[in-house]
Structure 1
């Protein structure tokens, strides 16, 4: 078992199955390089990756329990071949059960889903990080209602996983307004909102950080950046799991006229 604590991450996963689409792959070249290099920042190969994706929500927190998860092609209008992508990483019923146990110990209700497959918020970063698909993946849903505090508390409950060889990764976007992508007027909105998030995660006091994230709607351009906060809530889980670790910007890609930032908490360097 790994004994060194793993860092935790929020990654902006980009648009649809972009690594498999000519043109988009070149647009996201910065993100592709960063995802491929990410495992170099870990103390070891993780025993499993717990992914909180903005593409899965349920009435309560749900945990994927399949030994061999399938795929969720939850995107539209892409080339036919992107609906046949396979990422054959295993699941881990054992880790899934442990996730549910940790949530339960914190008084957080959860359920299990033996059929949930990999959505693009999961398979896009993971296939670039681990192209051999040899690291087990467990997924945790968002909870409908989008209460930021509930998601922070879920992350706090799951923090012990970091000392057990499990990588916790939230996957969303720092800007997610489908009508705004590619528009000049979206650039200052996305930039101002990302600046607020950067200020929040870099607070030295975790209480202040969490209060800023809970109060995210007060940020400049908040609802223009996130008409629905499904792609923002994974950051709340990550912040909870970060505990007292200070966040930093790992990298920022600029695609479709908006910045897409990814954050890291707790890395040794």
Structure 2
């Protein structure tokens, strides 16, 4: 099945925990993020055949794909109101696509396995509940690989790129700044500094420069202040790998997230 248009890829900042189900928060720090996620179906332009999500909340020793036709829920957050542990995002899984993606990953020289038990974590169900609130688009979640090797995840993205011509939306879900100990005013400067580097790298650089910079991301200004552990940055590598030579643009940006933090999301191609 070939679509007449190649779908873009995304790296999105998905926000904290189950925020869409906490309406009082939406009035404050989440209004801008919510609007950017609601705008995505229009940017994509067609309803995807499926969404392939690489979430900053799932890593395995080898690349792993959820293969359940009806994925369960993973409530991987702490200290939120009781009702947020009853959330359902009943999107169908995509077991046939999982087999196809497994073959693509193996074709790139990696091992890849299927996990029939794995469910949607909040890196997947939280943004998708805003992007596709009817839960009517099949969703396939793909793990990161332990070790966070940028080159491996860029290579993974390149292997997934043909899916863009088959109606599959590739979505890297993390946060452009993820230092939970420095979320208040202390994070203002490092988040802004690292975001400037991201904008230069992802929007203003050539595709070749983009890859070169991302491979050496830890040398960027304030890199380890922004990402003491890079689990929420590595999904970007997959989105960029799948983007090939296509340009990037910033589709979400605010400098007062949680009052002080600079956060962004990016779209490639499309």
Which category describes the TM-score, using the shorter chain as reference length?
A: over 0.9
8 Å contact from structure 1 (residues 6, 163) kept in 2: yes
SS in 1 for 2:147: coil
How big is each residue's C-alpha offset from its partner over 1:136-184, in whole Å with a ceiling of 9 and x where there is no partner?
00011010011000000000000000000000000000100110012x2
**Structure 1: distance between partners of 2:132 and 2:206:** 34
Q: Distance in 1 between matches of 2:179 and 2:235?
A: 16
Which structure 2 residues correspond to residues 34-183 of structure 1 after superposition, within 5 A? 34-182=36-184
Aligned 8 A contact 1:62 1:141 in 2: yes
Deviation at 1:24, TM superposition (A): 2.1
1:204 Cα deviation (Å)? 4.7
Which secondary structure does the structure 1 equivalent of 2:123 belong to? helix
1:21-75 deviations in whole A, cap 9, x for unaligned? 2432222011111111210111310000000000000001111111000101000
- Unaligned 5+ residue runs, structure 1? none
Aligned alpha-carbon RMSD (Å): 1.0
C-alpha separation in 2, matches of 1:23 and 1:179: 23
After TM superposition, the score normalised by the length of structure 1 is: 0.96
Gapped runs of 5+ residues in structure 2? none
CA–CA separation in structure 1 for the residues paired with 2:205 and 2:147:
29
- Whether the 8 Å CA contact 1:197–1:213 is kept in 2: the answer is no
For the pair 1:263 / 2:266, whether they are aligned, the reply is yes
Task: Quote the Cα distance in structure 2 between the aligned partners of 1:192 and 1:198.
Answer: 10
Q: CA deviation at 1:125?
A: 1.1
Task: Return the alpha-carbon distance in structure 1 between the equivalents of residues 16 and 39 of structure 2.
Answer: 20
Cα distance in structure 2, aligned partners of 1:93 and 1:246 = 31
Q: In 2, are the aligned partners of 1:54 and 1:121 still within 8 Å (CA)? A: yes
- Is the 1:192–1:220 contact (alpha carbons within 8 Å) kept by the matching residues of 2? yes
Secondary structure at the residue paired with 2:15? coil
1:73-119 residue CA offsets vs partner (Å, 9 max, x unmatched): 00000000000000000001011111111111111211111111111
Query: Which 10-residue stretch deviates more, 193-202 or 45-54?
Result: 193-202
In 2: Cα distance, 1:259 partner to 1:77 partner: 24
Question: Do structure 1's residue 185 and structure 2's residue 171 form an aligned pair?
Answer: no
Normalising to structure 2: TM-score of the pair? Answer: 0.96
Quick one: distance in 2 between partners of 1:210 and 1:154?
A: 13
Q: Is the 8 A contact 1:174 1:231 kept in 2?
A: yes
Does the 8 Å CA contact 1:74/1:119 hold for their aligned counterparts? yes
d(CA) in 2 for partners of 1:255, 1:203: 24
Where does residue 243 of structure 1 map in the other structure? 244
Q: Which moved more, 1:56-65 or 1:252-261?
A: 252-261
Equivalent-residue separation in structure 2 for 1:40 and 1:23 (angstroms): 26
